[in-house]
Structure 1
Amino acid sequence: MAIMTKPALRTRILAARRALTEPRRAAETRSLQTQVTALAAGVGTLGAYIPAGSEPGAAPDAVPLLDGLLGVRILVPIARTGQPMQWAEYRPGELIAAPFGLREPPPPWLAPESIAEATVLLVPALAVDRSGNRLGRGAGFYDRALPLAAAGALLVAVIRDDELLDEIPAEPHDVPMTHALTPGRGLVVLGMTQPT
């Protein structure tokens, strides 16, 4: 069976996310919140993002996946068209409206290279495959930012359970994820040969 194109996959996944019931979305958020808290334990700096729209963990007035983390420095992205992604320290309750319908911390912002300080990076994704290929929204912000991550950093795509696929089309500039984090499966190691 042929794999779907990236645009077709995006359309299918976004439609499925929009169709989720509120109770199911809330249950998945609670599960991810617990797992992110465990994953961040002992981490000095965590790279993360502010979920928006139908992304797993999105909430209108809070950031459930990050708000409960204590003792962890959290860096979140600042995305602007035509510029490398910058980063800012996340503090609950201090977000402002940003381009693309996102929320972000107010300035001052940090240089693109500051992401190398994070040992774990939570990366938004529409899907990821077992080889680590990530399907994003297609703007390329993370494809340009992730090569600046520290060698050995965990690159964790945050997705729903059914968004872990067998295969996604990949391009040479795509940066592979090392792990996926899903509400039901937890932290899944990617890129390893799967048993047949």
Structure 2
Amino acid sequence: MTDGPESQKRALRAELRERRRIRTATEREREAAAITQHLVDLASDLGSRSIAAYLSTPEEPGTRDFLSWACGQGIRVLLPVSRADGLLDWAPYDGEQEDEDLMGMPTPTTELLGPIAINDVDLILVPAASVDRSGMRLGWGRGYFDKTLGSMENCPPVYAVIFDDELVDSVPSERHDQRVDGVVTPSGIVALQP
């Protein structure tokens, strides 16, 4: 086995999955409340009227309370639905029923929009395993968000939602990996520069 970026990524992802798995329910609740407030602040500061985001799973930093808030404020929320070809479709989120896409990720049950629906949003929130201080994002290895962000002509601000210990000095990267503009963690909002 080589020690190239792909094997380094696999090892780091395994470590990060384990760290997330052993977080206590109390830690998760406290961190989710802080992240929600910071996401509200970010969306408010940017004057966001349309957001592309994702429904967090139980081990991810929580986005659900924020998405409920956004829907209640009349902010249009689009959520990703993975496709077999490696692209993402998008669906409006109404804060109600959920289903699972082909990758087992939670998705809305509303109408499916095509991949270009994301072009009309003014903030994108993405999941990440880790992000470094230059904004390089380490995803979970499927490449959906890298393909989406890499294909956008006029990309709005992109923020990854991570735990505090997942903002690091450097992450292994490859040519196709995409940077983010900042991160939202339980401690706050951090803008990042390449």
Measured on the aligned residues, the alpha-carbon RMSD in Å equals 1.7
| Higher normalized helix content (fraction of residues) | 2
Greater Cα offset, 117-126 or 145-154 = 145-154
The percentage of aligned residue pairs carrying the same residue is 35
Which residue of the partner structure matches residue 188 of structure 1? Answer: 190
Aligned to 1:163: 166
Instruction: Return the letter of the residue paired with 2:69.
Output: G
**Paired position in structure 2 for 1:9:** 12
* 1:142 alignment partner in structure 2: 145
Q: CA deviation at 1:94?
A: 2.2
CA distance, structure 2, for counterparts of residue 102 and residue 172 of structure 1: 26
Unaligned runs of 5+ in 1: none
Q: Distance in 1 between matches of 2:140 and 2:155?
A: 25
Letter in 2 for 1:183: P
| Structure 2: runs of 5+ lacking an equivalent | none
Supply the distance in 1 between the matched residues of 2:30 and 2:95 (Cα, whole angstroms): 22
Could you tell me how far 1:152 is from its partner in structure 2?
A: 5.0
The alignment partner of 1:68 has SS state of helix
Specify which of 175, 179, 186 is matched with residue 182 of structure 2: 179
Distance 1:149 1:187 in 2: 24
Q: Which amino acid aligns with 1:188?
A: V
Q: TM-score, normalised by structure 1?
A: 0.88
Q: 1:75 to 1:150 in 2, by over 3 A?
A: farther
Alignment of 1:18-167 (within 5 A): 18-41=21-44, 42-57=47-62, 63-69=64-70, 70-149=73-152, 151=154, 153-167=156-170
Aligned-residue offset at 1:101:
2.4
Contact 1:87–1:110 (Cα < 8 Å) also in 2? yes
CA distance in 1 between counterparts of 2:111 and 2:132 reads 36
Given that 1:113 and 1:148 are in contact with CA atoms closer than 8 Å, whether structure 2 keeps it comes out as no
The answer as to whether partners of 1:128 and 1:164 remain within 8 angstroms in 2 is: yes
Divergent runs of 4+, >6 A: none
Give the Cα separation in 1 of the matches to 2:98 and 2:140: 22
How much does 1:142 deviate?
0.7
Aligned partners of 2:127 and 2:86: how far apart in 1?
Answer: 19
Cα pair 2:61 2:163 within 8 Å, conserved = yes
Aligned residues, how many? 185
Counterpart CA distance in 2 for 1:152 and 1:101 is 27
Please say which of residues 47-56 and 158-167 is displaced more in the overlay.
Answer: 47-56
| Residue identity matched to 2:48 | V
- Higher mean Cα deviation, 130-139 or 38-47? 38-47
